[in-house]
């Protein structure tokens, strides 16, 4: 602190300004929240049910609808008013009914692999061809060679050993840097690998060449897929986005070509803007689509090296899928509501997205967030408090395809920043949790500096649990953006990274066993306190003077 | 150095004793070995062929026989005399012709799993029953409940996050401790997890209880399998030995019960000692065997939790296997020989084991060792030296089942310590490499202190490559023991651990991509130097005065 402060009388130091005093958390309530949240948590059971029993929850799929119903019923059981709110149309869902993949000749081995979501299906056995093409000229050489074949459409990938930990927690130094804004860029620092790495100034010539080759190949993907389809290949195998050792990161299939204007008209979603590239989930694009299977790097690399060694490799695929609904199908958010008392017309919200990718069970992304939000409300119900404002829980969908569900909800209920609806003025704030399974270390204020001293006070009772840091920084990529875009206060918590980048974020191993249960109990406890404090204070949460879109 | 040495004339310091001078490596030859080994290595191609193309090499399987032939032909191509030398009978080999495993209801997901070697096959779909039994009384409750079912026979396993690196290299401090004998116990220190962990003094009560429960369950395995077989279960699913994230460590199936005296007589290998427990690979034990499938922990845990949540889970298995040969089938070592000059009747050897487990491609265990030994000889051939002693390369088999192949070779050629054969006196030394893919950091002398100054000199030219440490310590678990047991000098190199314990040692991910190629070039270079020095010196390598069996 500055030297001049030392000259102030002690009383001046211990008596905070009234504005801050009003937000000093009630110690008795905070103690009850801790007791309920840390010692009588019901979060593990809910997380296990969402992940193990219901399983993956791709938007538009029966899995997500089952999760919508289950979260609704669970909140009703706790005395909330809960319902499904439709949004859309989202378009078709997709379900994988069966998938196995094996090399069957010249030797036999089972593949660690997964279909990309919205891939079409194919079952049979075919020889593979390695389409080793990083230019249209190289691709043209495969003319006439792919009929009835399975095409390998990615290059070999180098797999460095794991000399650094895949999991980590923030150090005090990292948190201090975040609080001071000293960390470059916005959002959380990425850790532990999992990604491919970009073009860096400190690259060797060899690394630079390899990077550039990868980029050329990546730019060729659409062309290669379209070529394979046109040439009559039956399916494609490619490298998973990242991962190794049996962990594969897999998202959606690619519509293999920029459709012609006519095809675009035929397949585009009614009312949707004309896009240069349509997403598979938006359109009934089977006629453009080729089955797309992501293969673990060790297995993919091995097949390519077998081919390069002159072996004739046969692969058996059994991929059975079906599409759910059609281009006009709606998707659903589950919304739970707990009516307030004297300020019941004002709203405080918490949430996470209920939808997930399809190869794991969407545990850290984002059954964790949903379970924490639900548990936070259960804690408050259990300790018998009567919040003044109405508390809502949002279990969003379509997040993975573009933060669609929360955006639709915000627009429907609160309008936009420039065309606010009636409830816009009644909204206090939204708290989101969607950075995996790490405990809460603090909160991103998205440039809302007025709120920082408030949140600093709210965190005080949880400093011993590691929640200490208030940063002005933005973080992106998830549902709090929908609120910020509408000029409403939306926040995302800072969470310990754990293994989010390296092991779970969109991977086949995003499963219950990757969850740090004690961390999630802590998160629910801190969130319960934030919800309570926001619901009880005299004023709504302060807003940014001007909220640029997307922040 | 001690102060008194500073008073000696300079000449006394630079002139080593004659005995050491005789072993000072020839700098010109060492330079050529480095040049050939590090810059013109052919090791990557051979390693890739052995692993990617030939694939797993379970003893007794066609894969191993193909590798026997390939290594023989490669050495003949280099001008060695090479042949297959039979040993045994080993008993039946085993080949997995097809394997897929999926949960098909109530939701569908593909399992990361593998049959245990020598498992019998089964194809079909059945409901699972969780045989949660850590005592005979608990097991008895499943009487009448397993007919036609797939039994889950392991408990749930906790999967901690990876907060420490899976890969590591030895630090200077660790190497110094090894050299001084300060590290407790024998052999290399285990690193990076992968194992279950033993009973430690620093355990909490909770950890101790969990450990004891695991031990009770482990002791029950044979009983549970026998019970499942007797009750008519069609297959068993169990936890892989260790691993997570898609990496599973899998070895052989268990003959599910201690056979009765009569059954033991019926199935035991002719001439074999009566064992209280027969190994699956020794006997045609189908009538005792139940199909045994190891499942990745996340998937296994999920199935158990689904069952515990009241779901009725169906699993589809397609496991097709066949056995190779019969109880009398022989196995083979590949032996390459390069005739020496004036001391051609004396023998220096290097080797590794060619056989592997079945779920990966046996890359670090132990295509690396075989490739390094072969490459070391290729290097010496390529630089045009004429070794005085005969150099032999041993590509062993049956190592994974009990170090059988090298033991049989040693007995056949050199006899035993108490009944030495004619060549026993002509044998100089054997160098083994079988601790994965790390570069050579030094050598274990197995208590042969006389040899330590010699090896220290031989390592000197490779200090800049990290090979520096000579330790008197023993290390076990692989083929150099066969030589030591016969009273012959047999050595294993100290190698950087890399990811051996955590990711590759008997896992489905022991594949070419886990190999650190530059490390292996270094290892071949150092081994070539050792072979050359051993083949050229006037005397054979010194022996231990008395060699206790097994060291």
Q: Which of A163, A244, A246 has the CB atom closest to B112's CB atom?
A: A246
> What does the pLDDT average to over A372-385?
98
Structural domain contains residue A291: yes
A47 touches chain B (CB under 8 A): no
Range of the domain at B336: 27-90+330-536
> What does the pLDDT average to over A497-510?
97
Q: Which of B48, B51, B164 has the CB atom closest to A165's CB atom?
A: B164
Tell me which of B289, B308, B324 is where a domain ends. B324
Our CA-based measurement puts residue A502 at a distance from the nearest CA of chain B, in whole angstroms, of 10
Residues B233 and B290 placed together within one structural domain of the fold: yes
Using a CB-CB cut-off of 8 Å, the residues of chain B touching A245 are 245-247, 503, 509
What pLDDT is stored for residue B505 in this prediction? Answer: 97
Structural domain contains residue A500: yes
Residues B301 and B414 placed together within one structural domain of the fold: no
Whether A529 has a pLDDT exceeding 50, the answer reads yes
Whether B3 has a pLDDT exceeding 60, the answer reads no
pLDDT in tens, A329-342: 899 999 999 999 99
What pLDDT is stored for residue A190 in this prediction? Answer: 52
Q: Which residue has the higher pLDDT, A223 or B369?
A: B369
- For residues A506 and A504, what is the distance between their CA atoms, to the nearest angstrom? 6
Our CA-based measurement puts residue A295 at a distance from the nearest CA of chain B, in whole angstroms, of 13
- Asked whether the beta carbons of residue B309 and residue A49 sit closer than 8 angstroms, the reply is yes
Tell me which of B293, B324, B355 is where a domain ends. B324
What pLDDT is stored for residue B239 in this prediction? Answer: 96
3-state secondary structure of A331: strand
Of B98-112, B200-214, B277-291, the one with minimum mean pLDDT is B277-291
Tell which B residues from 61 to 100 touch A, by Cβ distance under 8 Å.
63, 96-100
How many residue pairs bridge chain A and chain B with CB atoms within 8 Å of each other? 152
Using a CB-CB cut-off of 8 Å, the residues of chain A touching B94 are none
pLDDT in tens, B441-478: 999 999 999 999 999 999 999 999 999 999 999 998 89
Residues B436 and B452 placed together within one structural domain of the fold: yes
Our CA-based measurement puts residue B368 at a distance from the nearest CA of chain A, in whole angstroms, of 16
Structural domain contains residue A546: no
What pLDDT is stored for residue A23 in this prediction? Answer: 81
* Res. B310 pLDDT band, cuts 50 70 90: very high
Using a CB-CB cut-off of 8 Å, the residues of chain A touching B48 are 305, 309
pLDDT in tens, B175-210: 999 998 765 444 555 544 333 344 455 667 877 777
Chain A residue with Cα closest to B57: A107
Structural domain contains residue A381: yes
Residues A43 and A116 placed together within one structural domain of the fold: no
Instruction: List phi, psi (to 5°) of B288.
Output: -100, -15
> What does the pLDDT average to over B263-268?
49
What pLDDT is stored for residue A519 in this prediction? Answer: 98
DSSP B20-69: HHTTS--HHHHHHHHIIIIIS--HHHHHHIIIIII----TTSHHHHHHHH
- Asked whether the beta carbons of residue A298 and residue B514 sit closer than 8 angstroms, the reply is yes
Using a CB-CB cut-off of 8 Å, the residues of chain B touching A516 are 161
E-state strands within A77-186: 81-87, 93-105, 109-110, 113-115, 122-130, 150-152
Backbone Cα Rg of chain A: 25
Residue B508's closest CA among B374, B359, B378? B359
Cis-peptide, bond into residue B89, ω within 30° of zero = yes
Structural domain contains residue A345: yes
Whether A191 has a pLDDT exceeding 50, the answer reads no
- For residues A286 and A283, what is the distance between their CA atoms, to the nearest angstrom? 9
Per-residue burial over A220-255, b if 16 or more Cβ lie within 10 Å, else e, is bbebbbbbbbebebbbbbbbbbbbbbbbbbbbbbbb
Chain B residue with Cα closest to A97: B108
Provide, for chain A, the percentages of residues in helix, strand and coil under a 3-state DSSP scheme, each rounded to the nearest 5: 40, 20, 40
Tell me which of A270, A293, A324 is where a domain ends. A324
Residues B493 and B406 placed together within one structural domain of the fold: yes
* Res. B281 pLDDT band, cuts 50 70 90: low
* Res. B419 pLDDT band, cuts 50 70 90: very high
Residues A420 and A341 placed together within one structural domain of the fold: yes
- For residues B7 and B4, what is the distance between their CA atoms, to the nearest angstrom? 6
Structural domain contains residue A275: no
Whether A262 has a pLDDT exceeding 80, the answer reads no
What pLDDT is stored for residue A281 in this prediction? Answer: 59
ipTM: 0.90
> What does the pLDDT average to over B386-390?
97
What pLDDT is stored for residue B272 in this prediction? Answer: 44
Our CA-based measurement puts residue A166 at a distance from the nearest CA of chain B, in whole angstroms, of 6
Q: Is residue A276 within 8 Å of residue A286, measured between CB atoms?
A: no
Structural domain contains residue B37: yes
Chain B residue with Cα closest to A52: B302
pLDDT in tens, A21-30: 458 999 999 9
Domain containing B98 — which CATH number? 3.50.30.30
What pLDDT is stored for residue A279 in this prediction? Answer: 60
Structural domain contains residue A199: no
pLDDT in tens, A310-329: 999 999 999 999 999 887 88
Give the helix/strand (H/E) hosting B235.
Answer: strand B235-239
Residues B297 and B416 placed together within one structural domain of the fold: no
Of A117-121, B195-199, B429-433, B461-465, the one with minimum mean pLDDT is B195-199
Mutate to test the interface with A, among B98, B206, B298 (most CBs of A within 10 A): B298
Whether A189 has a pLDDT exceeding 90, the answer reads no
Residues B320 and B391 placed together within one structural domain of the fold: no
- Asked whether the beta carbons of residue B99 and residue A107 sit closer than 8 angstroms, the reply is no
Residues A131 and A47 placed together within one structural domain of the fold: no
Our CA-based measurement puts residue B245 at a distance from the nearest CA of chain A, in whole angstroms, of 6
Residues B419 and B471 placed together within one structural domain of the fold: yes
A102 touches chain B (CB under 8 A): yes
Tell which B residues from 217 to 276 touch A, by Cβ distance under 8 Å.
244-248
pLDDT in tens, A407-434: 999 999 999 999 999 999 999 999 999 9
Whether A169 has a pLDDT exceeding 50, the answer reads yes
Tell which B residues from 113 to 142 touch A, by Cβ distance under 8 Å.
114
Percent of chain B with pLDDT strictly greater than 70: 85
What pLDDT is stored for residue B545 in this prediction? Answer: 84
- Asked whether the beta carbons of residue A52 and residue B306 sit closer than 8 angstroms, the reply is yes
What pLDDT is stored for residue A92 in this prediction? Answer: 87
Residue A472's closest CA among A440, A493, A447? A447
How many CB atoms sit inside 10 A of residue B74's CB? 19
Domain containing A405 — which CATH number? 3.40.630.10
What pLDDT is stored for residue A18 in this prediction? Answer: 38
Residue B104's closest CA among A261, A320, A206, A208? A320
Cis-peptide, bond into residue B106, ω within 30° of zero = yes
Q: Which residue has the higher pLDDT, A92 or A243?
A: A243
Of A9-13, A208-212, A503-507, the one with minimum mean pLDDT is A9-13
Number of domains, chain A: 2
Tell which A residues from 409 to 438 touch B, by Cβ distance under 8 Å.
none
> What does the pLDDT average to over B115-122?
94
pLDDT in tens, B322-364: 999 887 889 999 999 999 999 999 999 999 999 999 999 999 9
Using a CB-CB cut-off of 8 Å, the residues of chain A touching B163 are 165, 167-169
- Asked whether the beta carbons of residue B102 and residue A97 sit closer than 8 angstroms, the reply is no
* Res. A270 pLDDT band, cuts 50 70 90: very low
> What does the pLDDT average to over A363-369?
98
Whether A9 has a pLDDT exceeding 60, the answer reads no
Whether B15 has a pLDDT exceeding 80, the answer reads no
pLDDT in tens, B484-534: 999 999 999 999 999 999 999 999 999 999 999 999 999 999 999 999 999
Residues A394 and A498 placed together within one structural domain of the fold: yes
Q: Give pTM, 2 decimals.
A: 0.90
Chain A residue with Cα closest to B169: A163
Residues B244 and B375 placed together within one structural domain of the fold: no
A148 touches chain B (CB under 8 A): no
């Amino acid at each position: 602190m500055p030297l001049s402060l030392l000259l102030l009388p002690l009383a001046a130091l211990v008596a905070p300004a009234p504005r801050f005093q009003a937000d000093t958390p009630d110690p008795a309530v905070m103690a009850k929240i801790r007791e309920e949240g840390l010692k009588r948590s019901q979060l593990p059971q809910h997380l296990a049910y969402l992940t193990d029993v219901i399983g993956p929850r791709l938007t538009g799929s029966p899995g997500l609808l089952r999760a919508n119903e289950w979260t609704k019923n669970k909140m009703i059981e706790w005395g909330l008013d809960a319902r499904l709110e439709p949004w859309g149309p989202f378009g078709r869902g997709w379900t994988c009914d069966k998938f196995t993949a094996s090399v069957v000749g010249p030797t036999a081995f089972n593949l660690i692999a997964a279909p990309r979501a919205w891939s079409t299906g194919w079952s049979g056995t075919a020889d593979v061809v390695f389409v080793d093409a990083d230019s249209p000229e190289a691709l043209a050489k495969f003319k006439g060679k792919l009929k009835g074949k399975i095409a390998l459409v990615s290059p070999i990938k180098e797999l460095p050993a794991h000399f650094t930990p895949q999991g980590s927690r923030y150090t005090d130094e990292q948190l201090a840097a975040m609080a001071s804004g000293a960390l470059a860029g916005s959002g959380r620092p990425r850790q532990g690998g999992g990604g491919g790495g970009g073009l860096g100034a400190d690259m060797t010539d060899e690394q630079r060449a390899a990077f550039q080759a990868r980029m050329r190949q990546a730019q060729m993907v659409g062309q290669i897929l379209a070529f394979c389809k046109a040439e009559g290949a039956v399916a494609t195998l490619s490298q998973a986005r990242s991962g190794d050792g049996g962990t594969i990161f897999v998202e959606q299939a690619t519509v293999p070509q920029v459709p012609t204007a006519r095809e675009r008209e035929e397949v585009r979603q009614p009312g949707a803007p004309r896009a240069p590239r349509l997403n598979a989930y938006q359109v009934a694009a089977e006629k453009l689509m080729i089955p797309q299977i992501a293969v673990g790097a060790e297995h993919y690399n091995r097949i390519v090296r077998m081919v390069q060694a002159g072996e004739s490799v046969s692969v058996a695929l059994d991929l059975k899928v079906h599409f759910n609904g059609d281009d006009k199908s709606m998707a659903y958010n589950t919304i739970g509501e707990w009516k307030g008392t004297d300020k019941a017309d004002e709203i405080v919200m918490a949430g996470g997205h209920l939808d997930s990718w399809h190869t794991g069970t969407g545990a850290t992304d984002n059954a964790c967030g949903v379970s924490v939000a639900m548990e936070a409300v259960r804690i408050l119900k259990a300790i018998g408090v009567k919040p003044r404002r109405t508390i809502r829980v949002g279990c969003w969908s379509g997040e993975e395809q573009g933060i669609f569900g929360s955006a639709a909800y915000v627009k429907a209920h609160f309008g936009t920043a420039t065309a606010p609806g009636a409830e816009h003025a009644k909204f206090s704030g939204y708290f989101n949790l969607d950075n995996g399974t790490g405990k809460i270390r603090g909160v991103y204020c998205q440039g809302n500096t007025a709120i920082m001293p408030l949140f600093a006070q709210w965190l005080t009772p949880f400093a011993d649990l590691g929640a200490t840091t208030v940063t002005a920084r933005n973080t992106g990529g998830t549902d709090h953006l929908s609120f910020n875009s509408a000029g409403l206060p939306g926040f995302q918590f800072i969470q310990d990274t754990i293994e989010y980048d390296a092991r779970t974020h969109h991977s086949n191993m995003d499963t219950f066993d990757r969850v740090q249960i004690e961390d999630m109990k802590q998160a629910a406890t801190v969130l319960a306190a934030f919800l309570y404090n926001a619901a009880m204070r005299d004023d709504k949460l302060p807003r940014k003077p001007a909220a640029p879109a997307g922040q």
